[in-house]
């Protein structure tokens, strides 16, 4: 059990519509009260943190990370990935199932929880895969995995191309109340693609993936969610068309949520020419038109959450070149300042709106008891210095990998303190 007293901070708790200067008390690992410091300290031995000039928010939640363990420990482990999460201000992460072996049975869900209990700095909530071994041929035991703690299901990295299987998965979602997290790419349209299809891909002579590859599957899965009543969550939205389809689906009352990642609302596909494989991911970086649409979607609530799609790879793998290097970039340690610098400072989101997309909203999507500073809630807290300006230094990363396009970028609004259940991590 950990006790903590955070004094004189700007407390922002979107779930409770709080945005005011005050003191926050954590007792026995739970949010206890806002009140008088001396009265609290009479009966508690607490760690005291002066948050004058700082912002105090619920512990940040990243609902889309790849921790790589088991099977790819040369890229990342649950220990190193959650260390990077804590360094970035995250107290909870939800990890994808595309490990080796794939997380596709109840026993493997339990294994992730076991490893996390032993090695993780943050809370870890695992996803199970939708199909066995991510092969797209047969559904997993989603009922069994949900019963032992899977917070949702995803074949992230590949699309479930069989529409009948996706319909069945969404029907189970409607029955049991978990989200189906979909990676939307029509693989027959993006075979061998390494970047966005457009002027830059043609200039570089590289195979590109058209926006239609994403839009077609987003449209299909929204229709299947509408048919079944299941909860569809669209991962890493990257196209203007997908934003529009999601907006239309929500207007029709489809049980539909979506997320966007910083790289998809900051970088265009021209970054590939500058940074090579550190700008290679699927879905790929798109155009300024797509960036503008994603920012509008974040602003108007079409896109519910902000996630990182933290995808660490060893330097030797990213050195293989655009044709052979794996997709993805790291994101846990840069997300918060990227959100502040590129969404909050320009006025696209208020700080409270941005924090909601990284706390209470992902908690509600995943059905986890996090993301709020309500009395009695778990004492997960992030303290932010919105005035701190630092350069991204990959050499100081807590992750095993350093594959980021944001190296040496000067950003504002960094994590100051991360507390999990009242204990500094």
User: Could you give the dihedral angle defined by the CA atoms of residues 295, 299, 300 and 303, in that order, rounded to the nearest 10 degrees?
Assistant: 60
* Residue 39 burial class via C-beta count within 10 angstroms: exposed 0-12, middle 13-18, buried 19 and up: exposed
**Closest by CA position to 13, among listed 49, 58, 71:** 58
> Would you kindly state where each structural domain of the chain is located, as residue ranges?
4-55+378-424, 59-366
Regarding the domain delimited by 59-366, which CATH topology (the fold level of the hierarchy) does it fall under? Answer: TIM Barrel (3.20.20)
Residue 45: the pLDDT is 74
What tokens appear for 212 in the block? 């239609």
Q: How far apart are CA 357 and CA 300, in angstroms?
A: 12
Residue 34: the pLDDT is 61
Residue 27: the pLDDT is 93
- pLDDT averaged per 10 residues, the chain (length 425): 89 96 94 66 76 98 98 98 98 98 98 98 98 98 98 97 98 98 97 97 98 98 98 98 98 98 98 97 97 98 98 97 97 98 98 98 98 97 98 97 97 98 96
End-to-end CA distance of the chain: 14
Residue 40: the pLDDT is 55
| Distance (Å) of CA 393 to CA 124, 141, 198, 411, 417 | 26, 42, 31, 11, 18
Regarding the domain delimited by 4-55+378-424, which CATH topology (the fold level of the hierarchy) does it fall under? Answer: Urease, subunit C; domain 1 (2.30.40)
Phi, psi of 393 (to 5 degrees): -115, 100
Q: How far apart are CA 70 and CA 341, in angstroms?
A: 35
**Cβ atoms within 10 Å, residue 325:** 19
Quickly tell me which residue has 């229709």 as its tokens. 223
3-state secondary structure of 39: helix
Q: Are 368 and 15 in contact (CB under 8 A)?
A: no
What tokens appear for 73 in the block? 């420990």
In this chain, the answer to whether the domains covering 4-55+378-424 and 59-366 adopt an identical fold is no
Catalytic residue among 309, 380, 385, 393: 309
Cβ within 8 Å of residue 96, ≥6 positions away? 64, 65, 66, 127, 154, 156, 157
Q: How far apart are CA 64 and CA 194, in angstroms?
A: 22
pTM of the model as a whole = 0.97
User: For residue 61, what are the β-bridge partners?
Assistant: 92
**Closest by CA position to 360, among listed 372, 344, 348:** 372
Ranges of beta strands (E only) in 140-243 are 153-154, 179-182, 195-196, 208-209, 231-234
**Residue 155 is a catalytic residue:** no
Q: How far apart are CA 187 and CA 199, in angstroms?
A: 21
User: For residue 196, what are the β-bridge partners?
Assistant: 209
């Amino acid at each position: 059990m950990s006790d903590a007293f955070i004094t004189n901070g700007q407390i922002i708790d979107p779930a409770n519509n709080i945005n005011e200067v005050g003191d926050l008390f954590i007792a026995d690992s739970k949010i206890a009260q806002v009140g008088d410091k001396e009265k609290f300290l009479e009966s508690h031995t607490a760690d005291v943190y002066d948050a004058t000039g700082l912002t105090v928010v619920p512990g940040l939640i990243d609902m889309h990370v790849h921790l790589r363990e088991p099977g790819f420990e040369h890229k990342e482990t649950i220990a190193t990935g959650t260390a990077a999460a804590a360094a970035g201000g995250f107290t909870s992460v939800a990890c994808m199932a595309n490990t080796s072996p794939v997380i596709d049975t109840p026993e493997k869900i339990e294994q992730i929880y076991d490893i996390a209990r032993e090695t993780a700095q943050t809370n870890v909530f695992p996803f199970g895969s939708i199909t066995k071994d991510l092969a797209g041929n047969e559904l997993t035991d989603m009922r069994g995995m949900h019963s032992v703690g899977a917070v949702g299901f995803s074949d992230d990295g590949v699309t479930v191309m069989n529409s009948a299987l996706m319909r069945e998965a969404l029907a189970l979602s409607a029955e049991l109340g978990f989200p189906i997290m979909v990676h939307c790419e029509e693989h027959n349209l993006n075979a061998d693609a390494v970047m966005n299809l457009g002027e830059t891909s043609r200039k570089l002579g590289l195979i590109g993936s058209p926006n239609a590859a994403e839009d077609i599957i987003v449209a299909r899965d929204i229709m299947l969610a509408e048919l079944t009543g299941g909860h569809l969550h669209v991962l890493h939205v990257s196209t203007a068309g997908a934003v529009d389809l999601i907006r239309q689906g929500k207007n029709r009352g489809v049980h539909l949520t979506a997320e966007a990642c910083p790289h998809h609302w900051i970088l265009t596909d021209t970054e590939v020419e500058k940074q090579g494989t550190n700008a290679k991911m699927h879905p790929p970086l798109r155009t300024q038109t797509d960036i503008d649409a994603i920012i509008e979607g974040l602003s108007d609530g079409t896109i519910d959450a902000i996630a990182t799609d933290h995808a660490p790879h060893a330097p030797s793998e990213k050195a293989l070149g655009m044709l052979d290097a794996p997709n993805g970039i790291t994101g846990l340690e840069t997300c918060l300042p990227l959100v502040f610098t590129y969404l909050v400072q320009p006025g696209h989101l208020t700080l409270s709106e941005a924090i909601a997309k990284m706390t209470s909203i992902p908690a509600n999507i995943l059905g986890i008891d996090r993301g709020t500073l309500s009395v009695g809630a778990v004492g997960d807290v992030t303290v932010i210095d919105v005035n701190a300006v630092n350069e991204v230094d990959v050499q100081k990363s807590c992750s095993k990998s350093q594959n980021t396009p944001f190296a040496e970028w000067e950003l504002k609004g960094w994590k100051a303190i991360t507390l999990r259940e009242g204990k500094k991590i």
